[in-house]
Each structure stands twice: as structure tokens, then as C-alpha cells.
Amino acid sequence: MMVEKISVDVVIKGGMVLAMEDKGVIENGGVATSGDSILFVGSSKEVEARFSAAAEIDASGCVVMPGLINGHTHAAMTLFRGIADDLPLDQWLNQYIFPAEAKNLSDEFVYWGTKLAILEMLLGGTTTFCDMYLFEDSAARAAKEMKMRGVLGEVLYNFPSPNYGPLEEGFRYTEAFIQKWRGDPLIFPSVQPHGLDTCSPDLLIQSKELADRFGVPLVVHVAESKANVDYVKNRYGKSSFRYLDDLGVLSKRFVADHAVWVDLEEMEIMAERGVKVITNPESNMKLASGLAPIHRYIEKGIVVGLGTDGCASNNNLDLFGEMDTLAKLHKVYDQDPTHMDAFRVLNLATICGAQAFGLEYRIGTLRAGKKADIIVIDFNKPHLTPLYNPFSHLVYAALASDIRDVMVNGEILVRERKLKQADQEEILAKAREVSKKVNGIRT
Ligand SMILES: [Zn+2]
């Protein structure tokens, strides 16, 4: 008896599907998507028998998996890439980056800088990013136009901002930003005070109240460098997370970027409050900030996602490179090659990143009902042949340039490495044009 097929928008078949729900691998797998969501994940045979699609992607020789999640970046800093390197964090930030931002930032700068970042991220298999920057409404506009998923927040600190001016305006801007974007299918607003040395206790408390009022993430740089931790100790007489806990700002919605210099008591506090961590190993290496105790966090049940940090301290937005670095660095650090195995590292870059922002019911794995954020990686390459273990290849051998197709929210944005929804040449030309106006950097 003929069974009528279900009409769907896209089927992907013939590839090796890693749903990332567990270590399972579907050798000749298929995925069907309808609208913005995944409808079915299974074998190619089942997909062929049950669905007829408007568009088909033949993924033979490819791996199909959930899009990667860049848990922390400052996207528009792509336009400051390579402008000041080889400096310690406080000098780099205070003598170069903050002055450069004060002189150069504008809506236009952030709009094109974010588009450039999204271009790089999409072509490297990243489908969601968390961004802390200025003129964030322009970042949101760039993301929306490029159909990228983002958790976005205007950076708040106690000194005047090139965007909003005094802090009171910053809170007004953030609230308006949340009101404007909440409920959007792609843009998830958040509250993002910069750090413990740039934000007063009051600022942090008000930020927490605002985040709670709208139920959005509260994202803060915490304990990034030794100097940063010493500042908090000298000023407040406490460790970073003890200080934050005493302020009452820690909760399940609190996302700590970096968390490098943290003692055992602080880890207990973090675990108890449900604090999430985003680790950025390459940025921490480049600024010689140190190495976050990720293995200990995971042992204590603390959710850890992976980020690249901004392009001026990494200097790229490549999560494949970041995964490779994370794994190897922690093996050396712990002097244990079993630490940070490939599957775990891939989890950090997918479902754990989703959990960090409370998005695990929408993204992070391939499952029917979740949003269709899917990447197709071309394994028909010398450095990916032969294939014994796809998790191993993805972490230790694959390159961002192996990404072939990318889908976000059910829409194919990259096909055969070509961007479909935006003009790549226009973005590159605009980025060069804006960079010519960048000035005021001490070099
Ligand atoms: Zn950062």
C-alpha cells in the first residue's frame, strides 16, 4: 500500500548524523525540517520513505550535526583584529582597546563589524553567538539581517560609554533593547555588565534586578586575570564569587565569562547557585591570563560552554581551533591525556553552550521539535580520511573551512560554502572601508 509522503521544507540525507543527544552515530542518516524546526532525525531510508521535500541536501561523505555555539565574543571587534597584540590584559584593555573604542565606535562600525563576525562564524559552522558590546542594537540588526541566532547585550560599566553616555542611560538603553527584542525567534536579549573592576556593586545589583525582571541571562567577565582577582581582593576583601554571592547577584541565569582564577570555596558557591561558565582558552593564552579549571567545574556539575572572546584577543572566531586548543591545553595542564576527551569538548561547543543561556530546549542537539540549526561538514578531505571516530576528527583534525552547508532556524544560510542571504563581497569591502577610519591607537 502506498503511504502518502509528508511534505517538508528540507531533507538532509546520505551523511553521518551526530545528533549529540548521546554518543550515537547514524551512519547513513537523515534529517527532515519543516519551517524553523527539526521534524525527524533517523536513517536516510526512513527520511526517503516518509518525506518529500522542497529542498534536498545530499550529505554523502559529510557529517551532519548541530551548529556550534560561541558562548562569548565581542563580535564587532573583528574590525580591531591585529591592532594591538602581545600585551597583558590590563594594558591591552586600558591603553589600547578602551581608547580605540571611545574614538571609533558608532552604529555603523558595530553594524559592519558584527556582519563581518557573523560571516566568519557562519562559514566556520557557528550558528549561535553570545555578544557583549556597544551599540548592541546595531549588532542585533546585523544578526537579524543575516538570520543568525544571538544572545546579545549592551556592555555596562561605570565610566561614560561612547554609545549611551552615563550609566543611567545604559540601563535605559538595555531595558529598551530587551523590550524591543524579547520574543524574537533569533535575537535573545541579555544584561551584560562588563566586569568586577569596571562595575560598582550597585551596578551589578541593578543589572541582576533587570535580568530577573525579564528572565534573561546576566553575563559578566569574572576572574579573568590574576590582576583582576587581586583588584577585587584589595577593594572588597573577598574572592570574586564570594563577593558576587554576598551581593546576591548569583543565580542560574548568571553566566561568568572566563572564571580563570577561582578557589575551591568559590567553586562550591558556583555549583550551589547554578552559575554557568564560558571558557575562552585561546584568549586566556594570548593575554597570558591563565587557565580556567574546567575539569574541576565539570566534576562539580557546573555547566561550561566554549567561546572565542573578541577578535582582538584571539584573533579569530573559529570554534574548531578553539575545541582543539581546549582539549590539548587541559591535558597538559592536568597532566592527564584522558581529560577533556573529544566527545566532551564537542558537547561544550553545542549543548552545554545552549544550557548556559537557558536555550537547551531549542538548540544544541538534533532532536525532533528543536529549532533547525544544523551544519554539514565535508569529510571528503585528505586530513579527514580515513574515518574511525567522527568526534575525534571534529576536535583534532577538522578545520572551520571544512564546513559546507549551514542552516539556522530552518533556513539554509550557507550552501557549498557560499552565503545565500547576504553579499559576502559587500561585507568585506565595507569592513575595509570602515577600518580606514580607525585611529587613535597608541602603537
Ligand atoms: Zn570578553
pLDDT at 443: 41
pLDDT at 97: 87
Q: How far is the CA of 158 from the centre of ligand 1 (A)?
A: 17
Determine the average pLDDT of the residues in 88-101.
87
Which class for 41: exposed (0-12), middle (13-18), buried (19 or more C-beta within 10 A)? buried
Q: How far is the CA of 223 from the centre of ligand 1 (A)?
A: 11
Q: How confident is the model at residue 2 (pLDDT cuts 50, 70, 90)?
A: low
pLDDT at 354: 98
Q: How far is the CA of 323 from the centre of ligand 1 (A)?
A: 18
| Burial letters 191-227, b for 16+ CB under 10 A, else e | bbbbbbbbbeeebbebbbebbeeeebbbbbbbbbbee
Q: How confident is the model at residue 98 (pLDDT cuts 50, 70, 90)?
A: confident
Determine the average pLDDT of the residues in 206-227.
97
Give 261 or 4, the one with higher predicted confidence: 261
Query: What percentage of the chain carries pLDDT values higher than 90?
Result: 90
Determine the average pLDDT of the residues in 164-183.
97
Q: How far is the CA of 124 from the centre of ligand 1 (A)?
A: 20
Rounded (10°) angle between helices 167-181 and 201-214: 20
pLDDT at 421: 87
Q: How far is the CA of 336 from the centre of ligand 1 (A)?
A: 28
Q: How far is the CA of 76 from the centre of ligand 1 (A)?
A: 12
Residue 179 is classified by DSSP as: H
Q: How confident is the model at residue 22 (pLDDT cuts 50, 70, 90)?
A: very high
pLDDT at 236: 98
Determine the average pLDDT of the residues in 204-228.
97
Q: How far is the CA of 313 from the centre of ligand 1 (A)?
A: 9
The per-residue pLDDT for range 329-349, each reduced to its tens digit, is 999 988 999 999 999 999 999
Q: How far is the CA of 309 from the centre of ligand 1 (A)?
A: 5
Residue 312 is classified by DSSP as: G
Q: How far is the CA of 312 from the centre of ligand 1 (A)?
A: 10
Q: How far is the CA of 74 from the centre of ligand 1 (A)?
A: 6
Q: Is the pLDDT of residue 442 over 60?
A: no
Q: How far is the CA of 11 from the centre of ligand 1 (A)?
A: 37
The per-residue pLDDT for range 248-293, each reduced to its tens digit, is 999 999 999 999 999 999 999 999 999 999 999 999 999 999 999 9
The per-residue pLDDT for range 383-428, each reduced to its tens digit, is 999 999 999 999 999 999 999 999 999 999 999 999 998 899 999 9
Q: How far is the CA of 114 from the centre of ligand 1 (A)?
A: 15
Q: How far is the CA of 307 from the centre of ligand 1 (A)?
A: 9
The per-residue pLDDT for range 219-231, each reduced to its tens digit, is 999 999 999 999 9
Q: Which residues contact 433 (CB under 8 A, 6 or more apart)?
A: none
Q: Is the pLDDT of residue 101 over 90?
A: no
What residues form DSSP beta bridges with 29? 15, 43
Q: How far is the CA of 137 from the centre of ligand 1 (A)?
A: 18
Q: Is the pLDDT of residue 440 over 60?
A: no
DSSP sequence for 211-253: HHHHT--EEEEES-SHHHHHHHHHHHSS-HHHHHHHHT--STT
Q: How far is the CA of 287 from the centre of ligand 1 (A)?
A: 12
Closest C-alpha to 28, from 55, 4, 61, 52: 61
Q: How far is the CA of 72 from the centre of ligand 1 (A)?
A: 7
Q: Is the pLDDT of residue 126 over 80?
A: yes
The mean of the pLDDT values for the chain is 96
The per-residue pLDDT for range 280-327, each reduced to its tens digit, is 999 999 999 999 999 999 999 999 999 999 998 899 999 999 999 999
pLDDT at 90: 86
Q: How confident is the model at residue 89 (pLDDT cuts 50, 70, 90)?
A: confident
DSSP sequence for 95-116: IIIHHHHHHH--HHHHHHHHHH
pLDDT at 438: 82
Q: How far is the CA of 23 from the centre of ligand 1 (A)?
A: 31
Residue 362 is classified by DSSP as: T
Q: How far is the CA of 170 from the centre of ligand 1 (A)?
A: 18
Q: How far is the CA of 310 from the centre of ligand 1 (A)?
A: 6
